[in-house]
Amino acid sequence: PKEIFLKDYKPTGYHFDTVELKFVLSEKKTTVVSKIRVLPRNSSESPPLVLDGRDVKLLFVKINGEERKLEEVELTSRHLTLKSLPVQPFDLEIGSEIHPETNLSLEGLYKSSSGMFCTQCEAEGFRKITFYQDRPDVMAKFTTRIEADKAQYPVLLSNGNLIDSGDLESPTCCGQNGFHYAVWEDPFKKPCYLFALVAGQLTSRDDTFKTRSGRDVQLRIWTPAQDVPKTEHAMHALKLSMKWDEDVYGLEYDLDLFNIVAVPDFNMGAMENKSLNIFNSKLVLASAETATDVDYAAILGVIGHEYFHNWTGNRVTCRDWFQLSLKEGLTVFRDQEFSSDMGSRPVKRIGDVALLRTAQFSEDAGPMAHPVRPHSYIKMDNFYTVTVYEKGAEVVRMYQTLLGKDGFRKGMDLYFERHDGQAVTCEDFFAAMRDANSANLSVFLRWYSQAGTPILTVSTAYDAAARSYTVKCKQEIPSTPGQPVKEPTLIPLAVGLLNSKGEDMVLTELLDGGSLKSLKDTAGGPAKTAVLLVDKEEQEFTFLNLPEKPVPSFLRNFSAPVRLVTPTVTDDDLLFLLAHDSDEFNRWEAGQTMGRKLMLDLIPKAQRNEQLAEFVAKALTLPGESELMDLMEVADPDAVHTVRKFVIRELASKLKQDFLKTVTENRSSDPHYTFDHKNKARRSLKNLALGYLCSLDEADTTELALNEYKSATNMTDQFAALSSLCQNPGDVRDEALANFYEQWKDETLVVNKWLVLQSMSDIPGNVKNMRRLLDHPSFDMKNPNKVYSLIGPFCRTAVNFHAKDGSGYEFLAEVTLQLDKMNPQVASRMVSSLSRWKRFDEGRQSLAKAQLERIAKTDGLSENVFEIASKSLA
Ligand code: B3K
Ligand code: ZN
């Protein structure tokens, strides 16, 4: 396999100006004819034109209407190379043939299990449709003609506007009757990764949105007819997104039609194809009975995300795939802000930071660690990572923290002014932010080029006589593969200082005030949060005029993606912050820090099989198992699990009466489901309490949960009760699971939750059940949602995946190898679970390593899985 490097980037020798595609879709084979207007970059020479193509059969090539003999072109399994081309603009016509029915990789054009044709081209799937310069800096205007059997595929969709459609009088292909056609024209030039085509039996929910300049946009969400009632929330989310982007960024939708299609088989969440977003059904369909609060929130966020891509990704796109975070980091940041504005800001922030910490910090500490802008890849699909997305979003958020909301908006405006219609780089974004604010941020660029989570150690000293408070910062970025030595980066450290009453002290002055964003709040009043600009390895900041020794609140709102270490912050300080901090994120964080500390302290005892001391914590949701394992020298899954379970039970037994009261008081009197902050908060508190209670496995708590299960009027409550019951092995659990399956067996998305629940079980010995479930009628290896439901959660369990006998690792290797033959993208996501094997004890290391080696040496392995397996072993 070939590794591709950022430093090797070269522009193409040919531009593509317009592309006319013609598809004749049919059961046996699909033919694709493309007619491209090609503009040579240089009129004095004609370099070879190298087109990408995979699993495509070449039928013919014509240059300016003249057929080239196929013996004269160079054709390999990856490329079609054309030589001796005109130096003037010319027409290139290519005929080709593909087989969507046998395409199980779900990239390129494929046939979904629901019977419809659909496409997925990002990152490099267009080359599975036809020969093309498949890279994002080749931007062209596309016209797409689709012909297909009218009865089987009544709806034909592509990007842009429908400019023609009708029945075919004389069939153009294979002598078939009953064909019809549609012609779509997209007026905006775009890279081929944004191309989309859908054909099938679909029905739409229709609505309209009036833009702020007064244009009416048609909105259509397409699903099989029976699912249309479940698209109401998605449509609502779409309209909210359109309005939000106008209000917050002044960005208006640019076409008269916006389509969303839901498909049951999709490798990831959704795809932002120009004006034809394609979504995993899971992120479109919702009803109170079948979807939880978490599902509703995810739909809102992802509908927003894909819609926001229209500007950040589509109008301004990436020069090359190394720049992926240019569109993804920025768009994730935008969807986070959108969801915050639509719901609770601190709750959203806490969730996002928790994800960053568990998934991204772990990636950044393992063999797959890479910068937000990677330097190289074998398979681009492997770099749609939490680093590029979530850490990338943190990088964008830091611009806003550094420049302020208004400064950030100015930077965005300049970015669009300069780059609309272009394919650009992360430096271009950086330059727009810098220039719009005349800011000096140069060290900040290191966030794009250096992997690894910085460790920021902050210690303090108060000088009562001088009334000054010194904050001493030290930053250190750990080595990562290929990057042994790091340079300090620019870390915005948001700090608040609390007085003994728990109020924010006014921060008036800083000794030689240099490296500070401002000591004024946005309204020009005195500051209560200061943003210290930490850009050296070691640095001191001294606050002046402080009448008493403060309790410091560091890294407010998680102002930078770092691991914060605070040797001078005491447990009393943490309790004080938990009670008083005006920064809600840091109030939560104080509890988490205490939870982490206390559990880590208990781990040696658990490892020695000692009785665990009594413990009552303040925070209710404890840091997760993998977060704790990450903080240990040698991760011990069994001890971590024992301790966390113990702490949960301790809390539950100490607080049993409070939890019981919480459940009773937070039941809804209204059977009607409303997805709003108030009701969500109420449900999540009630269900959290129920979960704690059931950890006790007592007769009355089981009875209570059964009752909640039976009386639930929405999926959030029903599923939470079921999850609570499933903590404890036995008949009650088995019967509840059977009952749930019986009730919902015809609703795939609900059955997937049922799979998740069993897969994530921490009842020891679960591998046996996993094997049984692989053969269950509800499971299908070809469907990514099934794999993500059944296999993914299993790999996140401490006790079962990391079972001492290696059975979990072996199971995963088997599944990966089977899956790789069908869908390499999904297989490679699965194998990543093995990549951090070096964290564990020797026994587990050798078991996991053996499975990785077994995978790596398998014949015919995909590049996707090869890249992860080999890098994990390196
Ligand atoms: N841009 C797509 C992701 C495509 C993944 C390709 N392997 C979805 C998104 O981030 O919006
Ligand atoms: Zn995206």
| pLDDT tens-digit map of 20-46 | 999 999 878 999 999 999 999 998 999
Spatial contact of 110 and 118, defined as CB atoms under 8 Å apart: yes
Give CA angle at 355 (352, 361), nearest 5°.
120
Q: Establish whether residue 644 lines the binding site of ligand 1, counting it when its CB lies within 6 angstroms of any ligand atom.
A: no
Q: Looking at ligand 1, which residue's alpha carbon is closest to its atom 1? A: 271
Provide φ and ψ at 333, rounded to 5°: -55, -45
Q: Establish whether residue 305 lines the binding site of ligand 1, counting it when its CB lies within 6 angstroms of any ligand atom.
A: yes
811 is written with which tokens? Answer: 């199971």
Q: What's the confidence (pLDDT) of residue 615?
A: 40
Q: What's the confidence (pLDDT) of residue 513?
A: 57
How far is the C-alpha of 568 from the C-alpha of 564, rounded, in Å?
12
pLDDT in tens, 202-238: 999 999 999 999 999 999 999 999 999 999 999 999 9
Spatial contact of 733 and 757, defined as CB atoms under 8 Å apart: no
Atom number, ligand 1, closest to the C-alpha of residue 123: 6
Q: Which ligand is nearest to the CA of 122?
A: 1
Q: For the residues of 17-50, what is the DSSP string, one character each? A: EEEEEEEE--SS-EEEEEEEEEEES-TT----EE
Q: What's the confidence (pLDDT) of residue 173?
A: 55
How far is the C-alpha of 507 from the C-alpha of 498, rounded, in Å?
10
* Residue range 93-103: mean pLDDT, rounded: 97
Q: What's the confidence (pLDDT) of residue 705?
A: 98
How far is the C-alpha of 21 from the C-alpha of 25, rounded, in Å?
12
Q: What's the confidence (pLDDT) of residue 618?
A: 36
Provide φ and ψ at 229, rounded to 5°: -60, -25
Q: Establish whether residue 106 lines the binding site of ligand 1, counting it when its CB lies within 6 angstroms of any ligand atom.
A: no
* Residue range 502-507: mean pLDDT, rounded: 95
pLDDT in tens, 771-798: 999 999 999 999 999 999 999 999 999 9
Q: Is the pLDDT of residue 521 over 70?
A: no
Residue matched to tokens 């199980």: 104
How far is the C-alpha of 687 from the C-alpha of 681, rounded, in Å?
10
| Cβ-based burial of 298 (10 A; exposed 0-12, middle 13-18, buried ≥19) | middle
For residue 580, give Cα distances in angstroms to 344, 570, 574.
Answer: 19, 15, 10
The count of residues in the chain is 874
* Residue range 271-275: mean pLDDT, rounded: 98
Alpha helices in 420-531 (DSSP H): 426-437, 446-449
Atom number, ligand 1, closest to the C-alpha of residue 267: 7
* Residue range 287-308: mean pLDDT, rounded: 98
Neighbours of 619 (CB within 10 A): 19
Q: Is the pLDDT of residue 177 over 90?
A: no
pLDDT in tens, 299-357: 999 999 999 999 999 999 999 999 999 999 999 999 999 999 999 999 999 999 999 99
How far is the C-alpha of 818 from the C-alpha of 791, rounded, in Å?
13
Q: What's the confidence (pLDDT) of residue 548?
A: 97
Atom number, ligand 1, closest to the C-alpha of residue 122: 6
What is the DSSP code (8-state) at residue 137? T
Given 20, 306, 363, 708, the catalytic residue: 306
Of 284, 328, 338, 788, best ligand 1 pocket probe by most atoms within 8 Å of the beta carbon: 328
Spatial contact of 197 and 112, defined as CB atoms under 8 Å apart: no
Going by their DSSP bridges, the two strands 530-534 and 563-565 should be labelled as unpaired
**What does CATH list as the number for 747-874?**
1.25.50.10
Going by their DSSP bridges, the two strands 468-476 and 455-463 should be labelled as antiparallel
How far is the C-alpha of 126 from the C-alpha of 187, rounded, in Å?
19
Q: Establish whether residue 384 lines the binding site of ligand 1, counting it when its CB lies within 6 angstroms of any ligand atom.
A: yes
Share of the chain above pLDDT 90, in %: 92
Q: Establish whether residue 335 lines the binding site of ligand 1, counting it when its CB lies within 6 angstroms of any ligand atom.
A: no
422 is written with which tokens? Answer: 């272009």
Q: Which amino acid is at 360?
A: Q
Q: Establish whether residue 107 lines the binding site of ligand 1, counting it when its CB lies within 6 angstroms of any ligand atom.
A: no
Q: Which amino acid is at 759?
A: S
How far is the C-alpha of 529 from the C-alpha of 531, rounded, in Å?
7
pLDDT in tens, 687-711: 999 999 999 999 999 999 999 999 9
Residue matched to tokens 């106008």: 246
Q: For the residues of 471-491, what is the DSSP string, one character each? A: EEEEEE---BTTB-------E
Neighbours of 650 (CB within 10 A): 17
How far is the C-alpha of 281 from the C-alpha of 786, rounded, in Å?
12
- Band of the pLDDT at 839, cuts 50, 70, 90? very high
Q: What's the confidence (pLDDT) of residue 121?
A: 98
306 catalytically annotated: yes
593 is written with which tokens? Answer: 């820090």
Q: Which amino acid is at 296?
A: Y
Q: Residue 230 — left, alpha, or beta (φ > 0 → left; ψ -120 to 50 → alpha)?
A: alpha
First to last CA, the chain: 16
Q: Is the pLDDT of residue 511 over 80?
A: no
Neighbours of 709 (CB within 10 A): 21
Spatial contact of 459 and 568, defined as CB atoms under 8 Å apart: yes
Are 317-449 and 455-561 the same fold in CATH?
A: no
Atom number, ligand 1, closest to the C-alpha of residue 381: 7
* Residue range 162-191: mean pLDDT, rounded: 87
- Band of the pLDDT at 614, cuts 50, 70, 90? very low
Could you confirm whether domain 14-201 is CATH 3.10.450.350?
Answer: no
Strand partners, 356: none
Spatial contact of 335 and 303, defined as CB atoms under 8 Å apart: no
How far is the C-alpha of 493 from the C-alpha of 478, rounded, in Å?
19
Q: Is the pLDDT of residue 517 over 90?
A: no
Q: ipTM value of the model?
A: 0.99
Cis peptide before 123 (omega within 30 of 0): yes
How far is the C-alpha of 703 from the C-alpha of 691, rounded, in Å?
13
Q: What's the confidence (pLDDT) of residue 616?
A: 38
Q: Is the pLDDT of residue 617 over 60?
A: no
Q: Is the pLDDT of residue 841 over 90?
A: yes
Of 105, 120, 122, best ligand 1 pocket probe by most atoms within 8 Å of the beta carbon: 122
Among 786, 790, 776, 784, smallest CA distance to 748 is for: 786
How far is the C-alpha of 97 from the C-alpha of 114, rounded, in Å?
23
Atom number, ligand 1, closest to the C-alpha of residue 306: 11
> Which residues neighbour 12 within 8 Å (Cβ) at sequence distance 6 or greater?
41, 133, 135, 137, 138
Q: What's the confidence (pLDDT) of residue 523?
A: 67
Could you confirm whether domain 455-561 is CATH 3.30.70.270?
Answer: no
Q: pTM for the whole thing?
A: 0.97
Spatial contact of 358 and 624, defined as CB atoms under 8 Å apart: yes
How far is the C-alpha of 688 from the C-alpha of 444, rounded, in Å?
40
Q: Establish whether residue 390 lines the binding site of ligand 1, counting it when its CB lies within 6 angstroms of any ligand atom.
A: no
Q: Is the pLDDT of residue 453 over 60?
A: yes
Q: Is the pLDDT of residue 520 over 70?
A: no
Among 363, 368, 513, smallest CA distance to 453 is for: 363
What is the DSSP code (8-state) at residue 394? H
Q: For the residues of 140-151, what is the DSSP string, one character each? A: BEEEEEEEEETT
Q: Looking at ligand 1, which residue's alpha carbon is closest to its atom 4? A: 122
Lowest mean pLDDT among 254-268, 590-604, 714-728: 590-604
Taking the domains of the chain in order of start, what are their residue ranges?
14-201, 317-449, 455-561, 655-744, 747-874
Q: Looking at ligand 1, which residue's alpha carbon is closest to its atom 9? A: 271
Q: Which ligand is nearest to the CA of 334?
A: 2
Q: Which residues of 486-495 are buried (b: 16+ CB within 10 A; e: fewer)?
A: bebbbbbbbb
* Residue range 169-183: mean pLDDT, rounded: 77
How far is the C-alpha of 22 from the C-alpha of 13, rounded, in Å?
25
> Which residues neighbour 496 within 8 Å (Cβ) at sequence distance 6 or greater?
504, 528, 529, 530, 552, 553, 556, 581, 582, 583, 586
Expressed in angstroms and rounded, the spacing between residue 559 Cα and the centre of ligand 1 is 26
Q: What's the confidence (pLDDT) of residue 518?
A: 60
> Which residues neighbour 538 within 8 Å (Cβ) at sequence distance 6 or greater?
472, 473, 474
How far is the C-alpha of 221 from the C-alpha of 209, rounded, in Å?
13
866 is written with which tokens? Answer: 């090869």
Q: Looking at ligand 1, which residue's alpha carbon is closest to its atom 5? A: 122
Q: What's the confidence (pLDDT) of residue 169?
A: 82
Q: What's the confidence (pLDDT) of residue 522?
A: 61
Residue matched to tokens 């400019």: 163
803 is written with which tokens? Answer: 């079972």
> Which residues neighbour 70 within 8 Å (Cβ) at sequence distance 6 or greater?
58, 60, 61
The CATH superfamily holding the domain 317-449 is: Neutral Protease Domain 2 (1.10.390.10)
Q: Establish whether residue 321 lines the binding site of ligand 1, counting it when its CB lies within 6 angstroms of any ligand atom.
A: no
Q: Establish whether residue 379 lines the binding site of ligand 1, counting it when its CB lies within 6 angstroms of any ligand atom.
A: no
